[in-house]
Amino acid sequence: MYKTIRCGDVRAGDIGKEVTLAGWVDRWRDHGGVIFLDIRDRWGVVQVTANPELAAAAHETAARLRNEFVVQIRGIVRRRPAGMENPNLATGEVEVESREVEVLNAALTPPFNINEESPVDENVRLKYRYLDLRRERLQKNLVLRHKITKFMRDYLDPLGFIEVETPILFKTTPEGARDYLVPSRVHPGCFYALPQSPQQLKQLLMVAGVERYFQIARCFRDEDQRGDRQPEFTQLDLEMSFVHRDDVLDIIEGLFTELIPAVAPHKKIQQTPFPRLTWTDAMNRYGIDKPDLRFGMELCDASGVFAKSEFKVFQEALKSGGVIKCISVPGCAAYSRKDVDDLMAFAREQGGQGLATVAYTGEGVKGSVAKFVAAGEAAALKQLTGAADGDLILLVADTIMTANKVLGALRLLFRDRLNLADKNKISLVWILDFPMFHWNEEEKRWEAEHHAFTMPKEADLPKIDTDPGSMLSDAYDLVINGTELGSGSIRIHRADIQHKVFERIGLSEEEIRGRFGHLLEAFEYGAPPHGGMAPGIDRLAMVLADEPNIREVIAFPKNQQALDVMADAPSPADPRQLKELHIRLLDER
């Protein structure tokens, strides 16, 4: 071993002992004769002195050191002189008086400082990710991730779950994204698909009698990048046999109720048992299927208040079957014309046509529609929303879907603008009873809202041919502070129902057999009822680490253009390799 003690572990109890340290030079300064070094390893930083009077050779070597050099140091632990202690550092009472300093490796000047959290362009950080990862913030995030997955394994093992690895080279497993394909050399013209999740495989494990499965599973989805998306990401994939919906919910809820305080003690779960909302309630009350419940500002339906409104826009919206919905924004009644115009532009970006405002001010009712609002309506609106003087009501008259979408987005805008959500609170909420299908207008076909392996509510099954849009399913989401943490469902375990659902989403008999024949066949050999879920580990770590995106909690993420800028991937393939794979490029230049 190159070290007898970790840099971050040296304490007053070691005073007088000889120790050997190994690590990186975090800081270096020459105080006229004595050189002071901070030596860092994963466990922390310790101060080292190099005094020419005590060890001339060590001092000479220390004088040649620069930041990020890799060193090994033998020395004696001393108490720091009175007044020189650093109470902010775990090792701050002591220093190591060097006797021998050896350079294990030199280092170029890093493109950014490792020893401080200064802002650095993200692509530079990603290009030198191995240096970025040396910094305290990302070291902490790696440790947090490790603790999360370790906790999951330790929690699930005594409950009878076993971890089973499933293949990465597989067949299409649709979760609503595009597949990544891998060409086969041995089978010309054939491709593996990387699994968008181990969905079918874990269901097949249920057919195989595993009963309780989990996996810290990598998923691959080719879709547009966002802060909470990456081409490959990690889920706690879990599946159970002989369970009803609430059995799965209970296992997952028990896990997170214990995991969060264990790995992030500064975070407080707002409410246990986790609140449960139906999908319809979530949409109506928060305008979104992943509501952040750390604050109120619920959407109100003011259609009744304005049933006899003189305002044309309101009249027309109601006449065409739409609604008038609103939120009450605290303390913003004095918003200027420009402020309101900005909100209108935001509403339009969300697909709305406009925004009406009613402001309750000391000098009466103001706002963009004040002159159309009768005194009775203003009073009724105030009562409906619970608004106080000083509050601003934002109204949207549109279809229910658009009104929800616009107001749901405005609610989140004000969460951030007015700091309404406590960042140390964790709101976990179950969203239940999702629609089974939604209509894809572009492709003119029904699509599974969750995925095609989800069990429709039994009572709704007869509607599959006549009214699929009104069918509900046994799918559920767990939402954490307004981010979808994971989805799951009770699955279809009967071949006839599965076949019917495939048909409903527009697959031909040939496609069904070609893509999912193995699954349908397996269901004919005694498939047990089963269900499961897959909470996202990156997203959980992101929320618990207070990070703005999942790239910060992934060791080697892709950038927002899905590029690995460190290794330069994807990159053109060698023509010889392409030939072996039977691939000719369309635009061969």
- Tally Cβ neighbours within 10 Å of residue 374: 15
Q: Is 199 in the site for ligand ASP (CB under 6 A)?
A: yes
- What does the alpha-carbon distance between residue 33 and residue 323 come to, in Å, rounded to a whole number? 78
Q: Are 49 and 97 in contact (CB under 8 A)?
A: yes
- What does the alpha-carbon distance between residue 475 and residue 479 come to, in Å, rounded to a whole number? 13
Instruction: Take residue 105 and report the two structure tokens written for it.
Output: 């490796």
Nearer to ligand ASP, 91 or 489 (CB): 489
Q: Which stretch binds ligand ASP (CB under 6 A): 55-63, 429-437, 440-448, 531-539?
A: 531-539
Q: Is 498 in the site for ligand ASP (CB under 6 A)?
A: no
Q: Which stretch binds ligand ASP (CB under 6 A): 128-136, 158-166, 424-432, 487-495?
A: 487-495
Q: Is 488 in the site for ligand ASP (CB under 6 A)?
A: yes
Nearer to ligand ASP, 236 or 277 (CB): 236
Instruction: For the chain, give the number of residues.
Output: 589
Q: Which stretch binds ligand ASP (CB under 6 A): 208-216, 310-318, 373-381, 529-537?
A: 529-537
Among 533, 537, 541, 553, binds ligand ASP (CB under 6 A): 533
Query: Which residues have CB under 8 Å from 586's CB, separation 6+?
Result: none
Q: Is 408 in the site for ligand ASP (CB under 6 A)?
A: no
Among 234, 241, 489, 498, binds ligand ASP (CB under 6 A): 489
Which ranges constitute the DSSP H helices of 103-135?
Answer: 122-127, 129-132
Residues 194-211: b if buried by 16+ CB within 10 A, e if exposed: bbbbbbbbbbbbbbeebb
Among 23, 322, 435, 532, binds ligand ASP (CB under 6 A): 532
CA terminus-to-terminus distance, the chain: 54
Q: Is 195 in the site for ligand ASP (CB under 6 A)?
A: no
Nearer to ligand ASP, 129 or 245 (CB): 245
Query: Smallest distance from the beta carbon of 205 to ligand ASP, in angstroms?
Result: 12
Cis-peptide into 273, omega within 30 deg: yes
Query: Smallest distance from the beta carbon of 491 to ligand ASP, in angstroms?
Result: 8
Q: Which stretch binds ligand ASP (CB under 6 A): 153-161, 436-444, 461-469, 528-536?
A: 528-536
Nearer to ligand ASP, 136 or 228 (CB): 228
Nearer to ligand ASP, 234 or 549 (CB): 234
Query: Smallest distance from the beta carbon of 36 to ligand ASP, in angstroms?
Result: 52
Q: Are 56 and 99 in contact (CB under 8 A)?
A: no
Q: Which stretch binds ligand ASP (CB under 6 A): 61-69, 80-88, 424-432, 486-494?
A: 486-494
Report the largest interatomic distance among the alpha carbons of the chain, rounded to a whole angstrom: 93
Nearer to ligand ASP, 125 or 451 (CB): 451
- 510: exposed, middle or buried (Cβ count in 10 Å: 0-12, 13-18, 19+): exposed
Q: Which stretch binds ligand ASP (CB under 6 A): 36-44, 46-54, 497-505, 527-535?
A: 527-535
Q: Are 152 and 174 in contact (CB under 8 A)?
A: no
Instruction: Take residue 180 and report the two structure tokens written for it.
Output: 């990544």
Size of the site for ligand ASP (CB under 6 A): 10
Query: Edge-to-edge strand order for the sheet containing 232-241?
Result: 162-163, 212-220, 232-241, 530-535, 483-490, 475-480, 428-432, 276-278
Q: Is 534 in the site for ligand ASP (CB under 6 A)?
A: yes
Q: Is 175 in the site for ligand ASP (CB under 6 A)?
A: yes
Q: Is 322 in the site for ligand ASP (CB under 6 A)?
A: no
- What does the alpha-carbon distance between residue 390 and residue 526 come to, in Å, rounded to a whole number? 64
Query: Smallest distance from the beta carbon of 538 to ligand ASP, in angstroms?
Result: 13
Interface residues toward ligand ASP, by CB under 6 A: 175, 197, 199, 235, 487-489, 532-534
